Structure 1
């Protein structure tokens, strides 16, 4: 008997797909989701190499430079919770297409901006699109991933982000130094990536877990049979059919999950964004060469840290990769801040150690939000945590130039060490182990 839901959804009328077809779909899903994270890293990395020319052309002081650099992060602060609410209410698929479309349009506007105010507006819109991507793309990845690969696939998002940041810094430096292209064009190169990802996302399906959570069970079964591993349908059918709300994040059942993913993410990204975005000026304060070697070097080591986490996450688990590295990074930053007479080579090594291990546990900020919350609040929970994290990242980017100028390098690094120390203590208390658990088990096991 044909149901109303199957009549509305032609895909629901198709039978189960082959294992090979499901693998091809998973590869496509991972590719388009990773593309979104490449864009995020690219947008935040591309502004560093052109900041000097942009500041000269637009006559920007330190205040305006920091505000323009932080505009995308402010946009993420707005877009991530709104995108999460929309994804939980109306589904992952429509929001998934909206955010990349908005990004492509806003990115294209960078070719034409001629004032700092308009540049801030454009990058704010791009940030809103990126924030929405966090809130819908990461839940989609978690919801479609096989249990035994979920950690790796979520960690791959981190590889994409750091890779995008490093590629942007490299491209931005080369175009800025060796071509006559304007800083408008260099910033606008993200448009080409955005359009390609938009086209690749056409025709992607809705999440079966979300469909089940809103009571559209026939569609959920059909899509799960077509796109998900054979054993995934049983776990999908364990989903609760209930309406999620923002208030659930702070309920007795889920407040620990919300506190952990939000504060852990905040403490992980705040030092990194501040140091990496202004790598040139930070390294020069310690007598080190900036430019290509400095910025790309720190980003390359960070990328290596993400790759190592990607390789180990399903072997040694989440918690081991989360807690000890944070204590180490807090100590490293404190040494940099306190050791005023350290040789430049020693300081460089310490910065590289920080970049490697910070990137490693930053990767877990991609993994935990999708695992410790149920489907009905996975979008808004991820969006809320992303918003909190971008408050920290925005503060770091906005205040670092002024802190380096007024307080000096040592006190600035000690402040960063304090943030890392706070994150380490919080994770020691709350970080769960979700390795090998289905999404239903992971959310239920961390609920209190």
Structure 2
């Protein structure tokens, strides 16, 4: 019996999409190999030719410009490949974009919040009117070295927010760098493979920014790309291993040629299930929690074994943030891009964790897989009651702009200043080693 016309049409569309995806992946890999080869040839040629010492500055600038062009070309080529596979550019949308599901947390998630400013997002998460998250399942961190420095930076909002969070039992940590979160003894305890939690199932980083006051746009972009690269390396250690991807991340997975066969009606099921991707076995699990829990560790019940971990990074898809190429950095082999980013970026501030080596990055990718973009969704600050973007001066509200300042303040020179609210997007990344 022949399949109905509707199903034949769907099968044909799936086959065509799979063919286009394989073709785009092959073309993309060829471009990556060519770019890396060109970089090696360029470096070898530059070292073979000697020039006078007084030409050093000119030569250095030319080499830096060449590296910048190389990384932008490589990222642009990757973006073209993503577009061929049905993805959109960072400025206009995302991979597996969803407009219906804007609450990215499962009730049983253990959540690490990075770069919190005045902790207003943490408070909103713990007291959300529809999806309140158990305080015992949240570890919120600040880049500020101490509570006193945080209160000095945000005097109007931080003291009140911290007091409420402490009364709820939310764990707050200070001096946490996304490049080396395991330096914090409590976070390291949460991520101990032999411990009960074994890591976090969700890591949230809202509006990160490297800071430093770099005025040159190219160096500013490179500094923020380096910040993201360092985080993609450092955050591997806090991700809980095991579990299966949510349904929306199982379709069209890179490197597989085509996604798993989709039963009829899966699209509707994905839309209903996207907020809380529970498996059928979890119907009896609790879906609401008391807001008065004071048990910081370990949380009860523990996350179910099927729950795959992911990294969520939120930015505004406008300049200068689109120049950081976040989706591309999170979907490339980092070992290919990292040398170019490192070459262009300014030096790290004193006391910052050292940059990882290429060998360390390759070992991590070989043992734990590469980062992949699972999806992006619109982030609406207004959905989070009490949440405000704040500047790093006086704590005044600035929720009409994107965030920066290590995840809390605003980026100097934001081209959207005074032009009203722009859409924010949350990109969700997972590791390729995650089970299908």
TM-score (norm 2): 0.28
TM-score (norm 1): 0.28
Q: Which has the higher strand share?
A: 2
Q: Which has the higher helix share?
A: 1
